């Protein structure tokens, strides 16, 4: 049995695995440990021939507060089993930052999106930025009535979370409003936009999601895999992956700009109480 520090791995019903983000005190914010724990747990579900459907959930009142801006508790990316061939994480300038975020964000999320089994996000409370990406990589989203979805990182001088699926999830105009204002979308609005499959009472989220997973798990796994691949290929044919990679380049440009202007990868003016750095040349911290 695998030992995870920040996630729980459960098998609540035949054919169903549930991976639970388990840092409730940090509102399930993603640090390096959680990122690689999630990857290990999802890989375990993919490897298990008895698992047909995977639920991704969050413990506590909120699904996820996104990336943990407080740091990685002393851990380094090299301490974990890398899943891509990106290297040079400590390189100066944009090179190091692009390499790091390619490994732990863009291509990690893509890896989860392509997991060859149906996945369902069970979302309650706040789902912010990096948390939004975790929900978006899932094939279905079941949301509680109290769930809200937001990507406020324009406040930090960055054009949206690394997994830039916004126009595909909510449409171009709503995506712009979401990014320009940083305002959250309610579960009901997300359902109306087609981003969420079902909205259920908060107290019924786990049970309703499990019932949906069990219904899917009763069907032939190979046909489920092929159905998922068919839909994902249609998105790729429309240019989704190319658009995401282009947006990721703009994301990295913004980090580089912020380092040059503010000496840190984000614009501190969007953080309450932050001290703005004097303009000048910077390097990757």
Sole residue written with tokens 């009763």: 218
**And the tokens for 72?**
């990685």
For residue 2, what pLDDT is reported?
66
Scanning the chain, the segments in alpha helix (DSSP H) are 32-47, 94-101, 107-113, 130-137, 166-170, 172-181, 187-193, 205-217, 221-237, 240-262
Instruction: Output b/e per residue, 206-216; b: 16+ Cβ within 10 A.
Output: bebbbebbbeb
Among residues 163, 157, 165, 128, the alpha carbon closest in space to that of 255 is found at 157
Instruction: Output b/e per residue, 257-268; b: 16+ Cβ within 10 A.
Output: ebbebbbbbbbb
Do 54 and 217 meet the contact criterion of CB atoms below 8 Å apart?
A: no
Domain boundaries 7-270, corresponding CATH code:
3.90.226.10
pTM beyond 0.85: yes
* 71 contact partners, CB below 8 Å, separation of at least 6: 31
The helix (run of H) or strand (run of E) holding residue 55 is strand 53-58
For residue 163, what pLDDT is reported?
98
Which pairing describes strands 16-21 and 119-123: parallel, antiparallel, or unpaired? unpaired
The Cα–Cα gap between 234 and 229 comes to 9
What strands, in cross-sheet order, belong to the sheet with 185-186? 126-128, 148-150, 185-186
Among residues 185, 188, 210, the alpha carbon closest in space to that of 197 is found at 188
Do 179 and 154 meet the contact criterion of CB atoms below 8 Å apart?
A: yes
For residue 61, what pLDDT is reported?
97
For residue 70, what pLDDT is reported?
86
Domain-wise residue ranges, the chain: 7-270
Residue 10's Cβ-side half-sphere holds a number of Cα atoms within 13 Å equal to 16
Spell out the per-residue pLDDT of the chain, length 285, in tens. Answer: 468 999 999 999 999 999 999 999 999 999 999 999 999 999 999 999 999 999 999 999 999 999 998 878 888 999 999 999 999 999 998 999 999 999 999 999 999 999 999 999 999 999 999 999 999 999 999 999 999 999 999 999 999 999 999 999 999 999 999 999 999 999 999 999 999 999 999 999 999 999 999 999 999 999 999 999 999 999 999 999 999 999 999 999 999 999 999 999 999 987 765 545 454 433 333
For residue 74, what pLDDT is reported?
84
For residue 284, what pLDDT is reported?
36
Handedness of CA 26, 41, 72, 100 (dihedral sign): negative
Handedness of CA 254, 257, 263, 268 (dihedral sign): negative
Judge residue 186's burial from the number of C-beta atoms within 10 Å of its C-beta, 0-12 exposed, 13-18 middle, 19 or more buried.
middle
- Report the Cα–Cα distance between both ends of the chain, in Å, rounded: 37
The Cα–Cα gap between 276 and 285 comes to 16
């Amino acid at each position: 049995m695998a030992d995870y520090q920040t996630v729980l791995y459960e098998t609540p019903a035949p054919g169903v695995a549930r991976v639970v983000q388990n840092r409730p005190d940090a509102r399930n914010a993603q640090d390096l440990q959680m990122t690689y724990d999630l990857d290990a747990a999802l890989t375990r579900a993919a490897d298990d021939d008895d698992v047909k459907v995977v639920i991704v959930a969050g413990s506590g009142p909120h699904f996820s507060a996104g990336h943990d801006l407080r740091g990685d508790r002393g851990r380094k990316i090299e301490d974990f089993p890398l899943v891509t061939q990106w290297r040079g994480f400590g390189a100066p300038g944009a090179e190091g930052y692009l390499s790091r975020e390619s490994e732990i964000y863009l291509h990690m999320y893509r890896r989860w999106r392509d997991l060859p089994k149906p996945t369902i996000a069970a979302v309650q409370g706040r789902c912010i930025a990096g948390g939004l990406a975790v929900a978006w990589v899932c094939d279905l989203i079941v949301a509680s009535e109290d769930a809200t979805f937001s990507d406020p990182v324009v406040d930090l001088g960055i054009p949206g979370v690394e997994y830039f699926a916004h126009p595909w999830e909510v449409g171009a105009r709503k995506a712009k409003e979401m990014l320009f204002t940083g305002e959250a979308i309610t579960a009901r609005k997300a359902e109306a936009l087609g981003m969420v499959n079902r909205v259920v009472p908060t107290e019924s989220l786990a049970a309703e999601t499990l019932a949906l997973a069990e219904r899917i798990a009763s069907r032939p796994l190979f046909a489920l895999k092929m159905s998922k691949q068919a839909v994902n290929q249609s998105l790729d044919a429309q240019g989704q992956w190319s658009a995401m990679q282009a947006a990721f380049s703009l994301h990295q440009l913004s980090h580089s700009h912020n380092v040059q202007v503010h000496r840190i990868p984000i614009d501190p003016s969007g953080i309450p109480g932050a001290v703005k750095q004097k303009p000048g040349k910077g390097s990757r911290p």
